[in-house]
Structure 1
Amino acid sequence: MALQPDMDRLYDQLVEEEDTRVCKDIPDAACSNVPTNFFRQVAAIVLTGLGDTLANPKTTLAWLLGIVGAPTAMVAWLVPIRDSGSMLPQLFIATYIRQQPLRKPLWVIGSLAQAAALLAMGAAAWLTEGWLAGLLILGCLALFSLARSVCSVAIKDVMGKTIPKTRRGRMHGMASTVAGTLALVFGVYLMLRPPADDNVLFYALLLVGSSMLWIVAAIIYQHVEETPGATEGGGSAIREALSRISLMRDDLPFRRFVLTRALLLCSALSAPYYVVLGQEVESSLSMLGAFLVANGLANSLSSMFWGRMADLSSRQVLTRAGLLASLLAPVVVGLYWWGSLPASAQPWLFPAAFFVLGIAHSGIRVGRKTYVLDMAGGNKRTDYVAVSNSIIGLLLLSAGFLGLLTTLIGPDGMLLLLSGLGLCGALLSLKLKEVQS
């Protein structure tokens, strides 16, 4: 087929730096399929990444609940349901997934289930209102998150069997760059032509469009060539889940990674506080567009850089990105407190900081995904992903209570607190072992 040589040549030009193609840490049978598998997975990640932007609980869904007249209290549950709901079940889902020699079909089914949940969410927004609409949207989001948890475990194992070590970070980086660029275009559109606040149809169609992206991604992912893998470790889901928790006690390198990842959550948890401070300075919808543009621009510019660095040392990526995220807050809060910027520049302080934070968060995300993929193989990789994601999901759910401190110390105080936690995570990452060598 003519397409195969073209994909081989493009893969070699974009990824390979040696005369001989790298095929480390994957089955020999998968080596010849690396280029096509690489680009098919990049395409699927790009499509779902763009879908995440269009159906973002921090922006789109929060606006939507307000438009349909749902109680304000429901807005506070959007992010915990989406993030924790996709992570907490993984410890139990992994028991079933590890029994399957092929994990690709599970990702396809999970992607289609996410599409169905978004379609139902759009229908609920269009056909209902008030508390009923809010409950239906949250219920659809919970189903979306459960399907997302299946995809999260399955895709990392498929990557581990189809993409060589020292090339996985590059794949994450390329996909994040393209998805960030598309998100940037969407942010510019909202900045220039913001929809009316009461345009329910716009948001409903946005959810329908997002669901189509997951369907196309499933079609593409179905053509990934995966070889059967290990299936040991069946049994009771609860018993197997509890036995995997012992990894935190017995596996020191894994325990350090999970603690590092938990502390580096500062890059994700601090983002809303930059937005809140930005709203205090300028509350127009164009400012919202500026934050979306800053985030998309950061991802598109930095992800490839972080991906290449992660293939050399994902530990160093975690350290450098963690330091960048944690040292940013004191600088920004200092400028905000002492008002040392000209009045015309003050509204742009926080979108600019959001851009830098986006660069750091992109590095932390690429670094930790590459690290957990490369530190283990086979079913152990599945266990590492499931245990770490479940623990992080529980911490994210608990982090909502940390937000109660905002009433005491304000959003600027929260930024400094999270900055301190992030600094501890960056320093702890120095003790992680190198897994790329």
Structure 2
Amino acid sequence: MLNGWFVFLGDAFFNASIVLSSFAAKLGAPNSVIGLLPALLGAGSMIPQVFVAPYVARLPVKVVLYRRVAVLRVSSLAFIALASFVLGHRPDLLLACFVLGLALNGLVTGFSSLPFWETVAKTIPMERRAALFGGRNLVGGILAFLAGLLVRYLLGTSLPFPIPYAILFTLGTLSFGIGWYLFGLSHEPPDEGRPPEHIRLSLPLKDFAFRRFLRVRVLFALASMTEPFYAAYAVRGLGQSSEIGLYLTLYTLASVLSNLLWVRLSQRYGSKLLILSGASLGMVTPVLALLLPPGAFGLVFVLQGTYLAALGLGTTTYLLNTADPQNRSSYIGLANTVVGVVSFSPVLGGLLADRLGYAAPLLLATVCYGWGLYAGRKLEGRV
């Protein structure tokens, strides 16, 4: 729980859709690079998991690997913060260091994700997992909301660019470091019996329910091509650069408040309803982004925080609850690796935005969310 609260703080200071994308935009990065940023953090951390799964499955206590990798994760973020303090006069070099640091962080995170989920699954009973993530999301979201106020204040000061961002990255590094240290203190019970000698990564694909779930996750990953471009569109298309802090505040506040609803619905009706609700909101948000006037553009970030909270909680609990406990590493590793590859879709979104304008990735994301909504109707019911 404590880990989640500090990680939420770190996520606020390193928010890929708002803070990182606006930072890259001010450095003059093309939209294809802006689209790469969330992919480096999200997809980069997912892709290695299928290759790490056999090794993790043979570890009787998984959290040991998590502790070792945490040092590398903190170091990569500290590199970004340091570069932001000393390379302000070289925006091209700063952008290169920024992208490199995010890439390193995403890669090493891929080695700690499986130990994290295995530890959670082994220590938290199925019926309490939604409450755990709900508590993490609620209090963590409140902290992120307060952090959003600080982000807005720092980005509105007269400090020369990129010093405000350097301060944010430093605070984010400290928050993540504390959170990862705290999770490393978890008392994970060792696996019972002998560890498996061979992990069949193809086994989950024989599970019809898993294949349906994976199809939905892939569609949502494709739809994520639009997530970093709401802030970029606000900065470059609507001239709302000074409102980035406000947008982050609205995003986190919406995530916090909607989480109260999502947890209650998940406990009462199951994760499927959250997946369908999140897909519905995700489908209409890109269209609204193209229609709203600049003064009302904050509504886009309210909806974004709401539907991403639903999809995050819904897909996480659905996979943990449906995966075969004896083969959980292969289920989680395969799902995250496949989704990770597709999660480079923001790069495609950036290329489309550069060539055709922001309307192209936004409308394509609407189609993908709609398709995911249709496919999600066929998922198993109360899980």
Q: Work out whether the TM-score is over 0.5.
A: yes
Q: CA deviation at 1:92?
A: 0.7
Q: 1:368 aligned to 2:277?
A: no
Find out whether 1:187 has 2:148 as its counterpart.
Answer: yes
What SS does the aligned partner of 1:166 have? helix
Q: Give yes or no for the alignment of 1:83 onto 2:42.
A: yes
Amino acid at match of 1:286: S
Flag the 1:400–1:215 CA change in 2: closer, same or farther, 3 A.
closer
The amino acid that maps onto 1:111 is A
CA drift at 1:138 = 2.6
Instruction: Tell me which of 84, 96, 111 is aligned to 1:150.
Output: 111
Deviation at 1:75, TM superposition (A): 4.6
The structure-2 alpha-carbon separation of the partners of 1:373 and 1:227, relative to structure 1 and needing over 3 Å to count, comes to: same
For residue 349 of structure 1, report the CA deviation from its aligned partner. 2.7
Report which stretch shifted further, 278-287 or 156-165: 278-287
Cα offsets for 1:279-332 (capped at 9, x unmatched): 467424332122111211111101132123223410121112211221344455
For 2:135, give the aligned amino acid.
M
* 1:392 Cα offset (Å): 0.9
The Cα offsets for residues 136-155 of structure 1, whole Å up to 9 and x where unpaired, read as 33332222112222232111
CA distance in 1, matches of 2:99, 2:289: 34
User: C-alpha root-mean-square deviation of aligned residues, in Å?
Assistant: 2.8
Q: How does 1:61-80 map to 2 (within 5 A)?
A: 61-62=20-21, 64=23, 75-80=34-39
Change (3 A) 1:152 1:353: same
Partner amino acid, structure 1, of 2:63: K
C-alpha separation between the residues in 1 aligned to 2:123 and 2:76? 29
The question of whether the paired residues in 2 share the 8 Å contact of 1:169 and 1:366 is answered with yes
Q: Is the 8 Å Cα contact of residues 162 and 226 (structure 1) preserved in structure 2?
A: yes
Question: Given the alignment, which residue of 141, 145, 157 partners 2:102?
Answer: 141
Find out whether 1:320 has 2:320 as its counterpart: no
Inter-partner Cα distance in structure 1 for 2:235 and 2:180? 38
Q: Given the alignment of the two structures, is residue 264 of structure 1 paired with residue 215 of structure 2, yes or no?
A: no
More displaced stretch, 310-319 vs 226-235: 226-235
Q: 1:403 to 1:350 in 2, by over 3 A?
A: same
With over 3 angstroms needed to count, the CA separation of the structure-2 counterparts of 1:347 and 1:430, relative to structure 1, is same
Contact 2:22 2:235 in 1 (8 A): no
Aligned twin of 1:405: 352
Q: 1:306 to 1:48 in 2, by over 3 A?
A: same
CA contact 1:170–1:304 (8 Å) conserved in 2: no
DSSP-derived class of the 1:244 partner = coil
Q: Does residue 1:424 correspond to 2:371, yes or no? A: yes
Report the TM-score, using the length of structure 1 for normalisation. 0.77
Query: Does the Cα contact within 8 Å between 2:18 and 2:231 map onto a contact in 1?
Result: no
Shift of 1:80: 2.5
Q: CA separation of 1:197/1:91 partners in 2, compared to 1, >3 Å: closer, same or farther?
A: farther
Which AA in structure 1 matches 2:121?
G
What's 1:175 paired with?
136
- d(CA) in 1 for partners of 2:201, 2:25: 41
SS at match of 1:228: coil
Largest Rg, 1 or 2: 1
What is the aligned partner in structure 2 of residue 386 from structure 1? Answer: 333
Q: Deviations over 1:96-140 (max 9, x none)?
A: 111111112222333332112112222233344454443333332
Q: Give the direction of change, closer, same or farther, for the CA distance of 1:110–1:48 in structure 2 (3 Å limit).
A: farther
Q: Distance in 1 between matches of 2:40 and 2:246?
A: 26
Query: Counterparts of 1:410 and 1:130 in 2: how far apart (Å)?
Result: 25
> Which deviations, in whole Å up to 9, do the C-alpha atoms of 1:337-369 show, x marking residues without a partner?
xxxxxxxxx323321122023211110110000
400-409 vs 317-326, which moves further = 400-409
Check the 8 A contact 1:101/1:229 in 2, yes or no: yes
TM-score (norm 2): 0.87
- How far did 1:395 drift? 0.6
Q: 1:266 to 1:322 in 2, by over 3 A?
A: farther
When residues 262 and 50 of structure 1 are mapped into structure 2, their CA distance, relative to the original with a 3 A threshold, is: same
Match for residue 11 of structure 2? 52
Find the aligned partners of 1:63 and 1:329 in 2 and give their Cα distance: 18
